[in-house]
């Protein structure tokens, strides 16, 4: 292992929808200096740009269902080839199924995962968080009905329109949580068996959760060296 390698972080963030994965991954990315790779953000950008892939996935996403493993594996394999991700990465929203996890092992065989975080927040808490969530349709900044933008659902950051994501309605949320339990939760024992799982309590103020995450991940990274 060379000196440069010692400073890298290769992380996956698992957790229910609304557990705060996006917010925390942005912060971990800044802290560790690694790219934040969110498959949900990549797909939403493709939908907004009206690309062929965007047209293919829009209805699936709006209903709360999962996009096929095959398409997602291609998306992530291409993304992980870009120069910023060749040594470190923070994955958010991928893998979402055991087949995706198995494929990720292959894709990253030359730069294996250090830590898989399971950001733990109970189901009843995330249902309330998600149905209150509002997001800027232009830049993606998160708000909620409890903490709205200062001016009439206009984004404080970019002036874009702040809306409810089509997949944040109660019906879609219940579908997404059921899929999380059946498709994504099996990744917890999958990574536990590999000795890389780290469960972190996701309840409380975002800043406290960030501090908890950084301390726990740092510990693990140091222990691996
Ligand atoms: P997210 O923002 O991570 O909740 O993702 C939004 C939607 O994008 C999901 O509900 C799925 O429809 C789709 N999606 C994102 N990542 C994946 C993935 N790894 N596998 C399948 N579908 C995905």
- How many residues are listed for the chain in this entry? 225
Answer whether 22 contacts ligand 1 (Cβ < 6 A).
no
pLDDT band at 156 (very low <50, low <70, confident <90, very high): very high
Give the model confidence (pLDDT) of 190-219 as tens digits: 999 999 999 999 999 999 999 999 999 999
Query: Which residues lie across from 11 on neighbouring strands?
Result: 90, 115
* Structure confidence at residue 164 (pLDDT): 94
Answer whether 118 contacts ligand 1 (Cβ < 6 A).
no
pLDDT band at 1 (very low <50, low <70, confident <90, very high): very low
* Structure confidence at residue 225 (pLDDT): 66
- Among 61, 98, 121, 164, the mutation site with the greatest number of ligand 1 atoms within 8 A of its Cβ is 61
Distance, CA of 37 to CA of 182 (rounded, Å)? 23
Helices (H), the chain: 3-6, 21-32, 39-49, 52-63, 69-79, 98-107, 123-132, 170-179, 187-193, 206-224
| Residue 118 Ramachandran class (φ > 0 left, ψ -120 to 50 alpha, else beta) | beta
pLDDT band at 3 (very low <50, low <70, confident <90, very high): very low
Query: Which residues lie across from 120 on neighbouring strands?
Result: 201
* HSE-up of residue 179 (Cα within 13 Å, Cβ side): 17
Q: Which of 52, 104, 51 is nearest to 74 (CA)?
A: 104
Closest ligand 1 atom, CA of 60?
12
Instruction: Determine the angle formed by the axes of helices 39-49 and 52-63, rounding to 10 degrees.
Output: 120
Give the model confidence (pLDDT) of 167-192 as tens digits: 898 888 898 999 999 999 999 999 99
Give the model confidence (pLDDT) of 8-25 as tens digits: 899 999 999 999 999 999
* Structure confidence at residue 207 (pLDDT): 97
Give the model confidence (pLDDT) of 60-105 as tens digits: 998 889 999 999 999 999 999 999 998 999 999 999 999 999 999 9
Query: Which is more confident, 131 or 3?
Result: 131
Is this prediction's pTM over 0.85?
A: yes
What distance lies between CA 122 and its chain's CA centroid? 17
How many helices (H) and strands (E) in the chain? 10, 8
* Structure confidence at residue 2 (pLDDT): 46
* Structure confidence at residue 167 (pLDDT): 86
| Burial class of 208 by CB neighbour count within 10 A (0 to 12, 13 to 18, 19+) | exposed
- Among 23, 39, 59, 68, the mutation site with the greatest number of ligand 1 atoms within 8 A of its Cβ is 39
């Amino acid at each position: 292992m060379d000196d440069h390698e010692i400073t890298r972080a290769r992380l996956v963030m698992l957790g229910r929808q609304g557990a705060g994965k996006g917010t925390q991954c942005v912060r971990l990315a800044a802290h560790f200096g690694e790219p934040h790779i969110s498959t949900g953000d990549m797909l939403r950008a493709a939908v907004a740009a009206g690309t062929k892939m965007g047209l293919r996935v829009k209805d699936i996403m709006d209903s709360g269902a999962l996009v096929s493993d095959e398409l997602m594996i291609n998306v992530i394999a291409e993304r992980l080839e870009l120069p910023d991700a060749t040594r470190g990465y923070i994955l958010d929203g991928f893998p979402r199924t055991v087949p995706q996890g198995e494929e990720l092992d292959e894709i990253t065989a030359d730069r294996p995962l250090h830590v898989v975080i399971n950001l733990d927040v109970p189901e009843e808490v995330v249902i309330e968080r998600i149905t209150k969530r509002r997001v800027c349709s232009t830049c993606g900044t998160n708000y909620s009905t409890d903490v709205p933008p200062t001016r009439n659902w206009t984004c404080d950051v970019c002036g874009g329109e702040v809306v409810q994501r089509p997949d944040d309605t109660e019906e879609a949320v219940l579908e997404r949580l059921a899929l999380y339990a059946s498709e994504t939760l099996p990744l917890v024992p999958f990574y536990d068996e590999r000795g890389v799982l780290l469960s972190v309590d996701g309840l409380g103020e975002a800043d406290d959760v960030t501090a908890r995450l950084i301390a726990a991940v740092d510990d693990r990274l140091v222990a691996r060296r």
